[in-house]
Amino acid sequence: MSTNRDLLLVSVGNTSITAAPAPGGVLEGMERIKHSPEAVDRLIEIAGKLDAEATVVLAGVHAEETKRLAAELSKLAGPQLRIEDDLAAPIGRQLAEGATPGVDRLLAAAGAWTLTKQAVIIVDAGTAITVDFVDGEGTFHGGAIAPGLGLMLHALSEGTDALPSIAFQSPSDDEPFGADTESAMRLGVHLAARGLISQAIERYALAYGAWPKVLATGGDAAALLDGAEIVDRVVPDLVLRGMLEAVQQAEAAEDE
């Protein structure tokens, strides 16, 4: 079931915000916005594309920034809904008792299940890299969490005396060796991340007894995984798709 109301979908990550308007429940034009005092101004601009009574749907793993944005966005005329407070993340779960996975992982899993309706592995390459598994019944089983590309580079710089502080850039396929310190660091974290993802996919497929679809999302997904044979598709708005599904399922339940 689809929703007919206008929505502003906002997912607050550890280093950036992903947001999109969904007029009439149709996702349009996702944006990634770095955390800053001005971020809310851009969100309000996006909301301006929608009906004045548009519903703000908010999810976040950065508690302080989520709280700040929620307060600022409450000044808009429409209602505000929080995932896991007002709306459940729409995915079944088979986890250890008391486990509380990040809402971003649950929403990415929900978005992936909505797209595939089959067993699927979700790679989220952001501040952290997560590799999670959803079975053929749409149940989230958890997965693996590791440092993202930026965190790995930061650890190398902070944990050593000589290695510099650098940003990630995708290594060139034409240069198989890191011929200087910076390129060696970038190649190292690239291979570490790719190796982690490959090993997790193989482990999950072996446990499941079949090879699931693999979808990737997150701010570093394109740089890390575009063209990678281990991934079927990069879907930048996977978390927002999960948020939209949460609204649609809640409305369907109200109509029953």
Instruction: Please name every residue paired with 22 in a beta bridge, in sequence order, or none if there are none.
Output: 7
**Which one, of 217, 9, 253, 248, lies nearest residue 121 by Cα?**
217
**Active-site position among 6, 41, 86, 104:** 104
104 is known as an active-site residue: yes
Q: Count how many residues are written for the chain.
A: 256
Which helix (H) or strand (E) is 140 found in, with range?
strand 139-147
Question: CA–CA separation, 190 vs 175, rounded Å?
Answer: 13
Give the residue among 134, 17, 144 at the shortest CA–CA distance from 73.
Answer: 17
Q: Contact, 244 vs 110, CB < 8 A?
A: no
Residues 126, 168 contacting (CB under 8 angstroms): no
Separation CA 112–CA 119 (nearest Å): 9
**DSSP H/E element including 55:** strand 55-60
Cβ atoms 194, 114 nearer than 8 A? no
Residue for token pair 């703000």: 56
Q: How many CB atoms lie within 10 A of CB 111?
A: 27
Catalytic positions, written as ranges: 104
